[in-house]
Structure 1
């Protein structure tokens, strides 16, 4: 089998060695769990692994991952007017989102149906589940049942939050660890993909924490947030009216993912200028509240009121 596909992966030697060993020994488990931060190469590694697994011994032509009948790629979705939309589809349609996307029971039922049929032109069927931590309770239980009854299907689950997965799901997977990239590897990936200009913004590089994917996403996020709103956030509100007004504007102007990003941005911005650990604690509490689906505007009102500059 052709292992050259893995040459495009930078800074993930441990994961690459483990995946190559699985291919060369032909000891393919029922399920793999790609675990690590967002944007550090898990999706690319899954693509390379599938290419190697499906490669033809004679011509080694690359396969079309998105159109292959034996590959099912599952992502978290939003439900909008009886349709399921991925994050990118929701953004493209201008749909404002206030909650994170989830993987639904309907999607897992499609997975079960797909996994129980025989492969058409590949040695195995492959199901890739991105952001497996986004499985809702029903979907996670249904997936677990499928993992307990292995068929001729390989499952590749990806997560940046292993601790939120059911322990029983984790126990049925071979874990492939992915790590944050070094500064040199981060620079190499960004430059290679045409985003070398991001290296000139130390704030974005710090927030990205060794993840080129996050560095690119944060760069794009920065461009999407109104400059006037960013300027308002440069300093702490100086009155109750200012705090409530800023909270209202954040809730009105920004969707769920933008609000979470703004909290990370403010943590770094306010720490650099004020060096106050109490502000960091308040912002972290706000982030956890929004992640737990508290009303964003209320979260911002409470947080910003507690951060008023006296």
Structure 2
């Protein structure tokens, strides 16, 4: 590492003093681990802090870098991996799939081919920076083969820093967790939450109590919820606003949801219904059924069947 390190890049981060304190301590003590694991809710700053850390460690203070480009794999010494879909001979991120109009009914994963690319990348010398950096988003989406291959790489110290991001640390292989320095990320306070939304021009979300409750201190989650609410057909939201009155209505709604919504939209809809139905019915059993449905969708169960079972068991009394 450089003898003198500029930590001013972290000044743009709002609401994560503990994470920043731990990172600065590692930097100032010149005891940078082989891997960091950033753990916490989605949308509370993990990706931004990863970019600030990269700037702090790899780029001199005078170098002007567009922080948005750090995750685009345009820098020769930075590899940024995200979960992907297999589309013929190409791997597409969720954003790419949406841009190509590809409707997917399963969650994207990080594949063994991506980790092999990572291993090859890490085995070569850096070109510009003092070391290489690999960032793995949604590390809990590593499939079994990919997780095993990554573990072997983490066990062999090389001139590459790994930064893993996760919102579900309990689903990351424990042996991977044990080889990383854990950096916890917390929910933002109300003031910090409002400051972030205002700063990014999304202050209108502050007027929607339902979305604020769903966000649970995550500005990113609030923005995602707002965008999801706009993207889902209004008739689907209307049909879901009350419990189905009979089995036929339940099966019809399940068919509509499966046909109309992508996997990510269906996962979000479950979160939305948990808040909506609790507000309307105050029934713990409904919340439990929806939680089971989300777990089944995350485990790649057949989407329509999950909705049929959930809605059929949630009929209005």
- TM-score w.r.t. the length of structure 1 is 0.97
2:68 corresponds to 1:61? no
Residues 34-91 of structure 1 deviation map (CA, whole Å, 9 limit, x = unaligned)? 111111100000000010112325x243365232111110111000121100010001
1:175 aligns with 2:182: yes
Distance 1:265 1:117 in 2: 46
For residues 215 and 305 of structure 1, the distance between their equivalents in structure 2, rounded to whole angstroms, comes to 30
How far residue 150 of structure 1 moved from its aligned partner, in angstroms, is: 1.1
Of residues 13, 16, 23, the one that matches 2:20 is: 16
Separation in 2, partners of 1:308, 1:55: 58
* Equivalent residue for 1:35, pick from 30, 34, 39: 39
Moved more, 19-28 or 34-43: 19-28
Q: Which residue of 2 aligns with 1:152?
A: 159
Equivalent residue for 2:249? 242
What SS does the corresponding residue of 1:157 show, helix, strand or coil?
strand
Aligned position for 1:108: 115
1:3 shift after superposition: 1.2
274, 283, 288: which is aligned to 1:281? 288
1:256 equivalent to 2:232? Answer no
The runs of 5 or more residues in structure 2 that have no matched partner are none
Report if the CA contact (8 A) 1:2-1:60 is conserved.
no
Match of 1:222 among 221, 226, 229: 229
Question: SS at the partner of 1:101?
Answer: coil
Structure 2 CA distance for partners of 1:26 and 1:60, relative to 1, 3 Å: farther
**Match of 1:26, SS?**
coil
Q: Distance in 2 between matches of 1:275 and 1:123?
A: 56
**Aligned with 1:79: secondary structure?**
strand
Provide Cα deviations, 1:174-205, integer angstroms capped at 9, x if missing partner: 11110111111111101100100000001001
Q: Distance in 2 between matches of 1:250 and 1:170?
A: 36
CA displacement at 1:170 relative to structure 2: 0.9
Q: Could you tell me whether the CA contact under 8 Å between 1:198 and 1:204 is conserved in 2?
A: yes
Q: Once the 2 structures are TM-superposed, how far is the Cα of residue 231 of structure 1 from its aligned partner?
A: 0.6
- CA deviations 1:79-137 (Å, max 9, x no partner) are 01211000100011111111110000000000000001011111110000111111101
Contact 2:111 2:142 in 1 (8 A): yes
Aligned to 1:89: 96
Give the 4+ runs in structure 1 shifted more than 6 A. Answer: none
Q: How many residues align?
A: 309
Q: Which residue number in structure 2 is paired with residue 191 of structure 1?
A: 198
Relative to the length of structure 2, the TM-score reads 0.95
Q: Matched residues in 2 for 1:42 and 1:254: separation?
A: 28
